[in-house]
Amino acid sequence: MADSAGDGGAVAPSSPRTIQPEDDIYRRIIPDWVVNDERAPGLKRLSSAVFRPLKDSPCSGYVAAECTYQDVLGPACPMCGVGAIAVKTLQDHQYAIRRDVNPGEHASHVHLIEPPGLSKSRKRDLWIELAKSTRWVFGETKWGSPRDSGLAGR
């Protein structure tokens, strides 16, 4: 397909769509983040580690409407699963969601920026609350399917 600019048919990439409050963000869930639920023996829950950022890097995720499970898991994560949290939930907790500008990442990749100025205690409470709001949507763990362990929809 040629265009009027005469550039040999190259088409400029379109701008990414605006992330909406009703969108979900997918998080890659590593097996160690699925833990025993002390309040419900025999069941599993997501650990607060799901939302604890690395030392110098924010948590990240993928806009669910713009990717597949394979984009989230990648070939190096066969034992990982995928959880989903609503953008509105993150926004209600004052998180900022920023698109990743690194060209090596999938176009749906985003950074989840914590609200500034929180104490360690408040951060941990926030991570716990977000983990509770995350739904299990895909994958297996080292214990089998979290759906079979009571994690789904919690």
Name the strand (E) or helix (H) holding 109: strand 109-113
Can you give the residue ranges of every domain in the chain?
24-139
Residue-level pLDDT at 2: 39
The rounded distance, in Å, linking the Cα atoms of 60 and 138 is 17
Count of Cβ atoms closer than 10 Å to residue 126 Cβ: 19
Cα distance between residue 28 and residue 82, in whole Å: 5
Nearest to 67 by CA among 82, 89, 80, 49: 82
Please report the pLDDT score of residue 75 as a whole number: 78
pLDDT per residue as tens, the chain (154 positions): 333 344 444 433 456 789 999 999 999 998 899 888 888 888 888 999 999 998 888 999 999 999 988 888 887 777 888 999 999 999 999 999 999 988 677 889 999 999 999 999 999 999 999 999 999 887 655 444 555 555 544 3
Please state, in angstroms and rounded to a whole number, the distance separating the CA atoms of residues 152 and 8. Answer: 50
